[in-house]
Chains A and B, each alone.
Chain A
Amino acid sequence: MIVALSIFLITIGSIAFHFWSPWWWTEVASNWGNMDDTILLTFWITGAVFVAICFFVAYCVWKFSYKKERRAEYKPEDKKLESRLTWATAIGVAALLAPGLVVWNQYVTVPENAYKVEVFAYQWGWKYRLPGEDGKLGKTDIKYINDDNPFGLIIEDPNGKDDLLVDADELHVLKDRPVKFELRTIDVLHNFYVPQFRGKMDMVPGIITYYWLTPTRVGDFEVLCAEYCGTGHYAMRGRVIVDEEKDYKKWEAKQVTFEKMLAKSKENDNLQLVKKEK
């Protein structure tokens, strides 16, 4: 009795917890609301199965508890029942899978009008690089990384000259414009994760990974690293700010191109040389 009742109460309690606990996802801030929809669909189907099976178990425990004089039913197999259950499960599983694959197809297919942003990860922090006026990111190689060239751009590549280098952990993106994050790490694995955007992808040294999204509301969001990257993993935070066009332009205007940065550091070097000579 107590056992049947506890299984029953656990089931009811789980449902109550699901609907009335304060813990739920953050308000979505990108086009990936359909990921939330696939989660909800999964919740309904799996939740129904959970409740049905738990109730069935509770009922059996209550109804068929041991009596010395009674014998259990002797029925080793029931082919019809087994095949019905198999088909019902297969259909349920297909109903979960199909929408999942449709959304995944959208997730891995970047729209052509998406603009690119490089997210640059290192132990333990974030930087960003925008393609500049030509819309193309210049080529890089980690062997060129030094104080004057923190992103390791190849100086001979003309596409890199107008790249805007954001040597800070804060990135601005445009509302309602699809953006493709090109993910690059110079050391270990990282993962660029903003809970409100839903998207995620590991960053792997040696290759550029990517994902895309369209921010749908203005706001200030925290960036977290979602792939374990060493002792400082938990402290690897950054910010993404979604702007309307006007605010974005203001921020963009403050960023320095690679060419200017090089010139500036040369100037600094010269100044120092002059100082030394004096």
Chain B
Amino acid sequence: MSDEQDHKLEAKSDYVADASSVSTPDIDSVPDAELPDQELYHSHSWWTTYVFSQDAKYIGIQYALTAIGTGLLGLVLSWLMRIQLAFPGLGWLEPSSYYQFVTMHGMIMVVYLLTALFLGGFGNLLIPLMCGARDMAFPYVNMLSYWAFVVAVLVLLASFFVPGGPTGAGWTLYPPQAITAGTPGYNGGIILMLISLILFVAGFTMGGLNYIITVLQLRARGMTLMRMPLTIWGIFTATVLAMFAFPALLVGCLMMTLDSLLGTSFFMPAMVSLGETLTHEGGSPILFQHLFWFFGHPEVYIVALPAFGIVSDLLSVHSRKTIFGYRMMVWAIVGIGALSFFVWAHHMYVSGMNPWFGFFFATTTLIIAVPTAIKVYNWILTLWRGNIQLSLPMLFSLGFIVTFLNGGLTGLFLGNVTVDVPLSDTYFVVAHFHMVMGIAPILVIFGAIYHWYPLITGRMMDETLGKIHFWITFLGSYAIYFPMHYQGFVGVPRRYFEIYDSPYIDTSTLLLNKFITIAVLIVGAAQLLFLYNLFASARLGKKSEKNPWKANSLEWQTPQMPPEHGNWGKELPKVYRWPYDFSVPGAKEDYIPQNQPPSEIIGAKVEKT
């Protein structure tokens, strides 16, 4: 215990003295700190350093690697499914395994990869660093959050090994079929899936509270909310959404577990299952859909908002230009977040709910298009008259704009209730959501990894490999999903193990399936290049200079790079401006870091932020 005391950062006691120091010129004054400096936990064994770490940076990396590992399984599952769709004659899969793979692929990608990577991974890595804090507010709870996530993943994977295999209910897990005979894994796999989700939500709540409280309480002096990088705004708002949305999933999962194990009837009406009358009665299957989508739609934005935030920062840094319309961007993030709780039933236009709801939800859904469009405009106006460096993060950001634009616009088809009727449950939907919440956020993730990799390892990732990776991933995934919309127009339904020779589907549509599958195999294989680059560059990569992209935000201004435990050495940073002062007229350099005091840049014509 006393050992720990010795290690405590000395800076904690002199924050008051610092504020009153006379040597600071007036224009450099920053409000006093309201809270004393954090007392940090210091690891003193191999286990507490590398396994049960309480350092947010390290937890972020743990989260990211676990999520990517799980995501790789999701990728392999997509290969298996696509081979079945393109070459049904191979007799490659049983229908039941096909449906199990569809389900696991969907759930893994949405929850265990994207949510965990953006919030658990980037959230942990970036929130303390970008806000100028030493760590998260509650490092121990933060560690528990990660380990709860690990257990959730293990329970999910365990479902592959129970009798009957994992659930094949589709990632939406709609009852009654999720828990009745006729669906694979209806009595074993589904229970493990529900338990895994419950664990995930519990673990996420621990992390989420940390992210919110850290952003609200531990920002550096001078870091007002309207000076926060958009990355933090995105992650912060997404976390708030998650705090409200995940409980709906949690109760849905609990209720379905009870229906399955104890014979309650929350979601189960009187019904016959493969010739046998069940004992359930009076439950409502649509109730589950409401709970699921009350979580499920905000979930889209839980993934999208961090991507929006990160891509805004990447675009600004790599085009050496102020993000256009920062305040609008912040309000758009907050507005989208708020509106996302009023649109969920647009997933249910043809679910059998009261059809009059359609008017309301179509209207709210199309309203949400306005703030989303504003974000797109501001991204492209950031490029306008910029000084655009075609670095890897910029390439992926450009790829994101094209992909997200495409996927966002097809959302206007599906959100508009009438247009949705012929297209719902077809491949148009599959193409839409993969574009908008699969490929688009993943391109941002790649851009972000190439961008922040030097911050983590002190080395750069290989540029050539990165470019090959970009072109195959961007063009390849566009080639997969753009034509897929047209299969939806033809009317090819989703979740079909095999199409057969339906009279209305001609052979060219089946040929298109083969083309898409080949593209899937290639794009998937290109991710191996990325993985190689990711791991090899940690040793072989070119050594990075201290602030390799000449960015303004605080994470690049730590005394050491990569930042050490406690991030800031003796003294916490002071913030004088927003992170977007690029190419300011009159300034010597084309960037002014957030912690550079005004007295050092006298001639620069900065707008006050």
Contact = CB atoms under 8 A, between A and B. Distances in A.
Interface stretch (A82-90, A129-137, A165-173, A267-275): A82-90
A76 B274 contact: no
Interface stretch (A49-57, A154-162, A245-253, A258-266): A49-57
Interface residues of B, number: 115
B322 interface: yes
Interface stretch (B140-148, B197-205, B361-369, B521-529): B361-369
Contact of A232 (B95, B180, B378, B590): B95
B412 A104 contact: no
Given A42-B413, A72-B385, A205-B285, A142 B583 contact: no
Interface stretch (B70-78, B128-136, B265-273): B265-273
A228 B363 contact: no
B24 interface: no
B495 interface: yes
B486 A24 contact: yes
Given A61-B398, A64-B385, A64-B388, A191 B406 contact: no
Contact of B418 (A38, A57, A191, A196): A38
Contacts of A232: 95, 182
B475 to A, nearest CB: 7
A49 B356 CA distance: 30
Interface in B458-496: 475, 478, 482-483, 486-487, 489-491, 493, 495-496
B483 A17 contact: yes
A256 interface: no
A23 B512 contact: yes
Contacts of A228: 99, 169-170, 174, 177, 495
Interface in A197-239: 198-207, 209, 220-222, 224-234, 237
Contacts of A209: 352
Contact of A74 (B496, B583, B609): B583
B151 interface: no
B144 to A, nearest CB: 36
Interface in A92-120: 93-94, 96-97, 99-101, 103-105, 107-108
A153 interface: no
Contact of B493 (A72, A193, A203): A193
A231 B319 contact: no
Interface in B556-609: 580, 582-585, 590, 605, 607, 609
A38 B422 CA distance: 11
Contacts of B176: 187-189, 205
B384 A104 contact: no
B508 interface: yes
Interface in A48-73: 49-50, 53-54, 56-57, 60-61, 64-67, 70-73
A89 B374 contact: yes
B390 A66 contact: yes
A189 B177 contact: yes
Given A108-B358, A231-B96, A202 B416 contact: no
Interface string B144-156: 0000000000000
Given A39-B423, A66-B320, A226-B424, 13 more contacts: A36-B422, A42-B413, A46-B413, A60-B383, A61-B398, A64-B387, A72-B386, A85-B377, A96-B366, A107-B421, A189-B176, A209-B352, A226-B493
B106 to A, nearest CB: 11
Contacts of B286: 204
Contacts of B426: 226
Interface in A8-35: 10, 14, 17, 21-26, 32, 35
A197 to B, nearest CB: 9
Interface string B346-371: 00001110011011001100110110
A108 B376 contact: no
A104 B374 contact: no
B269 A206 contact: yes
Interface in B165-180: 168-170, 174, 176-177, 180
Contacts of A86: 370, 374
Nearest to A108: B355
22 contacts: A3-B395, A10-B478, A17-B486, A23-B483, A25-B491, A32-B422, A35-B419, A60-B384, A65-B390, A71-B387, A73-B385, A76-B325, A77-B327, A85-B374, A104-B359, A108-B356, A142-B271, A193-B493, A204-B351, A226-B493, A228-B174, A230-B177
B219 interface: no
B322 A74 contact: yes
Given A14-B482, A231-B168, A97 B351 contact: no
A222 B504 contact: yes
Contacts of B374: 82, 85-86, 89
A5 interface: no
B359 A202 contact: no
A123 interface: yes
Contacts of B174: 189, 228
A100 B490 contact: no
Contacts of A123: 182, 273-274
B590 A72 contact: yes
B160 interface: no
A76 B593 CA distance: 16
A65 B388 contact: yes
A78 interface: yes
A39 B419 contact: yes
Contact of A71 (B482, B495, B583): B583
B91 interface: no
Nearest to B323: A76
Nearest to A62: B388
A60 B422 CA distance: 38
B497 interface: yes
A254 interface: no
B397 to A, nearest CB: 10
A85 to B, nearest CB: 5
A101 B499 CA distance: 33
Contact of A66 (B387, B489, B496): B387
Contacts of A198: 421-422
